[in-house]
């Protein structure tokens, strides 16, 4: 066969349509329209879920001692009407004394913090000084879940009168409120370089600034709250994964170290293990650092164990959020890789985590009263032992039967 | 700075809308890759941009 003939045969074979090509479905206006309609239907289904989370409000029945409701927009008016505005419930005994701020929801994917604030609000009795409770410090972050983490948007607490539903939010502010993320995040005013997505992390934005980003304005408003209300002690509640070293711990500003040290020793000897760390001076943007540096308050951050947010857990379900029981974590626990004890049978249930926060806050106030009698605050709410014995639901009141003036949507 | 940030913030929403429109145009008017599989991909990719410009996600 000549070279020319061979070339002709190859060209002919190449030019001929393959059987596979013949089978390809050619699209037309009808198939394109069907694809678009299906996509829009999927968008509607997903969109409803996202919309519901963006607009869902948690219900709380306040104790009768509520004297005032303030908002962050009272301190930074630019926040009014935005998802950065959030209520602060004030319980003033009318007796001169100190003042305490309790913050939940700085990281809204740590919901034992908000739930502990709600249980505090529902059962608090203040007989000296003032207590300020802010259940959702970063409200914007409660309006979505973490992108890429397939977990439920809420969980239920069983009560005698039915179920109370609470959100599981994100770690940071919603991109709908602050977007786009910069390539780098330079903390103000320290100029310390931090992870780019921490620009939306409230607990990396303190002390904030009035003309800063959305999250920095929220942080600034909280600082203004602390400064204007002369808050003597500010407590920021958090949860942490149990394979992270800073868990089951107080992290205290230098000025609050003595108080937190005494509270940790007291709790460890009587109720549950509680560690203590001093806030590192070079770690910028954190509440335990900046609240103390930029105001006269005694700043303490608290962490309880939350297995739900550990990296190695199995399915992230409502059950995991409520019980903290996970098979994979139990293997890590047996290998000694967790920073708090972990057993599959016990896990870290919600009532234990909420109870830890409530007792930890109570002990801080107790020792503040001892160290600074002029700042004395006398307040009571349910503690760890009661929570563990009766569960969270026992301390939540039925909004249907409560005085409507004490029922709030947060 | 607050104003500049707000302008950038809303500019990105506008850009999300424009990109969504490009996908819509690509779905119905593209010159290459005319198979059904590409229709599905183009239609699916519209979803996040649609949810973003509607301030839902």
**ipTM confidence score:** 0.92
**Residue A146: per-residue pLDDT:** 85
The C-alpha atoms of residue A261 and residue A286 are separated, in whole angstroms, by 19
**Residue A8: per-residue pLDDT:** 47
**Residue B54: per-residue pLDDT:** 94
DSSP alpha helix (H) spans, A166-325 = 214-228, 257-270, 287-293, 318-323
Query: CA-CA distances (angstroms) from residue A409 to A46, A144, A157, A254, A398?
Result: 25, 18, 17, 37, 13
Answer for the pair A142, A175: CB distance below 8 angstroms, yes or no.
no
Determine if the peptide bond prior to A180 is cis (ω within 30°).
Answer: yes
With beta carbons under 8 A apart, name residues in chain B contacting A50: 51, 56-57
**Inter-chain CB proximity B47 and A144 less than 8 Å:** no
B14 touching chain A per CB within 8 A:
no
**Residue A4: per-residue pLDDT:** 53
Rounded-to-5 percentages of helix, strand, coil across chain A: 40, 20, 40
- Residue in the block written with tokens 């977007």: A179
A293: CB partners within 8 A, 6+ apart: A207, A253
Query: Sign of the C-alpha dihedral, residues A303, A309, A311, A313?
Result: positive
Q: Which among A197, A166, A171 is positioned nearest to A184, based on CA atoms? A: A197
Low-confidence ranges of chain A (pLDDT < 50): 1, 7-15
**Residue A18: per-residue pLDDT:** 53
User: What is the distance in angstroms between the Cα of B39 and the nearest Cα belonging to chain A?
Assistant: 6
With beta carbons under 8 A apart, name residues in chain B contacting A180: 8-9, 12
**Residue A102: per-residue pLDDT:** 98
**Residue A21: per-residue pLDDT:** 53
Residue of A nearest to B56 (CA): A51
Chain A, 154-183: which have a CB under 8 Å from a chain B CB?
176, 178-180
Span of A28-32, A122-126, B44-48, B52-56 with lowest mean pLDDT: A28-32
Q: Is A167 helix (H, G, I), strand (E, B) or coil?
A: strand
Count of CB pairs separated by less than 8 Å, A with B: 70
**Residue A47: per-residue pLDDT:** 95
Tokens of A188: 């103000």
B7: CB partners within 8 A, 6+ apart: none
Neighbours of A150 (CB within 10 A): 9
**Inter-chain CB proximity A25 and B50 less than 8 Å:** no
With beta carbons under 8 A apart, name residues in chain B contacting A183: none
Longest CA–CA span in chain A (Å) reads 111
Q: Using CB atoms, pick whichever of A26, A78, A144 lies closest to residue B2.
A: A78
């Amino acid at each position: 066969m000549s070279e020319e003939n061979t070339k002709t045969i190859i060209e002919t074979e190449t030019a001929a349509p393959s059987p596979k090509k013949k089978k390809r479905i050619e699209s037309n206006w009808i198939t394109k329209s069907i694809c678009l309609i299906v996509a829009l239907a999927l968008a509607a289904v997903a969109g409803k879920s996202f919309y519901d989370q963006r607009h869902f409000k948690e219900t709380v029945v306040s104790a009768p001692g509520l004297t005032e409701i303030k908002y962050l927009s009272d301190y930074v008016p630019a926040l009014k009407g935005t998802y950065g505005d959030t209520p602060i419930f004030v319980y003033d005994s009318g007796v001169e004394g100190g003042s305490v701020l309790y913050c939940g929801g700085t990281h809204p994917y740590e919901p034992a913090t908000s739930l502990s604030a709600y249980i505090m609000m529902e059962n608090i009795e203040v007989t000296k000084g003032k207590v300020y409770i802010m259940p959702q410090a970063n409200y914007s972050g409660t309006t979505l879940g973490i992108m890429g983490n397939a977990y439920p948007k809420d969980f239920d607490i069983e009560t005698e009168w039915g179920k109370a539903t609470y959100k599981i939010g994100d770690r940071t502010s919603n991109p709908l409120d602050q977007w786009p993320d910069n390539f780098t995040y330079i903390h103000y005013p320290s100029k310390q370089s931090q992870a780019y997505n921490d620009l939306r992390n409230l607990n990396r934005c303190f002390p904030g600034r009035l003309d800063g980003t959305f999250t920095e304005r929220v942080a600034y408003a909280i600082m203004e709250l602390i400064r204007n209300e002369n808050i003597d002690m500010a407590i920021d509640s958090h949860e942490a994964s149990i394979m992270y070293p800073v868990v089951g711990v107080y992290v205290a500003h230098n000025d609050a170290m003595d108080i937190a040290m005494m509270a940790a020793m007291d709790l460890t000897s009587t109720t549950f293990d509680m560690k203590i760390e001093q806030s590192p001076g070079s770690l910028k943007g954190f509440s335990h650092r900046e609240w103390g540096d930029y105001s006269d308050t005694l700043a303490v951050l608290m962490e309880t164990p939350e297995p739900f947010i550990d990296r190695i857990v199995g399915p992230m379900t409502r059950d995991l959020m409520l019980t903290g029981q996970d098979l994979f974590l139990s293997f890590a626990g047996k290998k000694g890789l967790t920073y708090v004890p972990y057993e599959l049978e016990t896990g870290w249930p919600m009532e234990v985590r909420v109870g830890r926060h409530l007792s930890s806050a109570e002990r801080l106030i107790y020792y503040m009263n001892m160290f600074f009698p002029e700042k004395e605050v006398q307040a009571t709410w349910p503690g760890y032992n009661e929570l563990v014995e009766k569960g969270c639901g026992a301390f939540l009141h039925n909004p249907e039967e409560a005085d409507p003036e004490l029922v709030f949507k947060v | 700075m607050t104003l500049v940030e707000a302008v950038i913030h809303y500019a990105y929403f506008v850009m999300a809308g424009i990109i969504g429109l490009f996908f819509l145009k690509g779905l119905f008017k593209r010159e290459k890759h005319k198979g059904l599989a590409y229709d599905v991909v183009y239609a699916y990719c519209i979803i996040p941009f649609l949810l973003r410009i509607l301030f839902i996600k």
